[in-house]
Amino acid sequence: MDQSRIYWPPSAIASRYATTVPDSAVHAFLDHGAADRVVLPDATCEALGKAIIDGWTCAIVTNGRIGMQEEKIRKTDWTASSTAG
Question: 85 by DSSP, 3-state: which?
Answer: coil
* Among candidate residues 30, 32, 44, the one with its CA nearest the CA of residue 78: 44
Q: Say what the pLDDT of residue 53 is.
A: 95
Residue 48, C-beta contacts closer than 8 angstroms, at least 6 positions apart: 58
Q: Note the pTM of the prediction, 2 decimals.
A: 0.51
User: CA-CA distances (angstroms) from residue 16 to 6, 21, 29, 85?
Assistant: 16, 9, 15, 40
Domain assignment present for residue 84? The answer is: no
| 23-57: pLDDT as tens digits | 788 777 777 777 777 788 899 989 999 999 999 98
Contact call for residues 40 and 76 (beta carbons, < 8 A): yes
Residue 35 near residue 75, CB atoms below 8 Å: yes
Residue at 67 is within a domain: yes
Domain-located, residue 38: yes
Confidence of residue 84 (pLDDT cuts 50, 70, 90): low
Q: Residue 11's domain spans which residues?
A: 3-76
